[in-house]
Amino acid sequence: MSMQRPILISQPVLKDNKFGIAHEQAVAVYEQATGLSHIDIVGIDCHIGSQLTEVEPFIAALDKVIELVHSLREKGIELRHIDLGGGLGVRYIDESPVSIHDFAQALLPKLTKLGKTVFFEPGRGCQCGYLAYPCRCAKAYGA
């Protein structure tokens, strides 16, 4: 029985990020995963932060993800989906978060061209109560 879990890529700028793996290690990790019988590679996830009020960081992250998708395709690894995470900001006091419409309009041309299923999490924009989930593993710092 194989697990269908995407590989999470962290922000390419931060070396001590608490999530995922570094961008420059991603292709090697995917190549290693292809040799594991219990892993079914289905996608790539990206988390760039939370309470983001501008679309530009998402565009930069999408560009890096697209770069990885193409690099993986050259290695014979075809992904079914990408997940650009969440983090859309909300107005607390005087913040001016990007609207969902403007966010979608900025990303849609690149996403359409990519032709993958796309996931987003609403971040703080979803004010719908509580969400609880288990932690399955913890990353060792310096790894």
Spell out the domain ranges in the chain: 7-125
Sheet order of strands, 117-119 included: 7-9, 43-46, 81-83, 117-119
Closest CA relative to residue 46, chosen from 78, 77, 7, 80: 7
Is pTM beyond 0.85 here?
Answer: no
Question: What pLDDT sits at residue 132?
Answer: 65
The CATH class given to the 7-125 domain equals: alpha beta
- 32: confidence class by pLDDT, cuts 50, 70, 90: very high
Hey, how many other C-beta atoms are within 10 angstroms of the C-beta on 45? 20
Please give the share of the chain, as a percent, with pLDDT higher than 70. 75
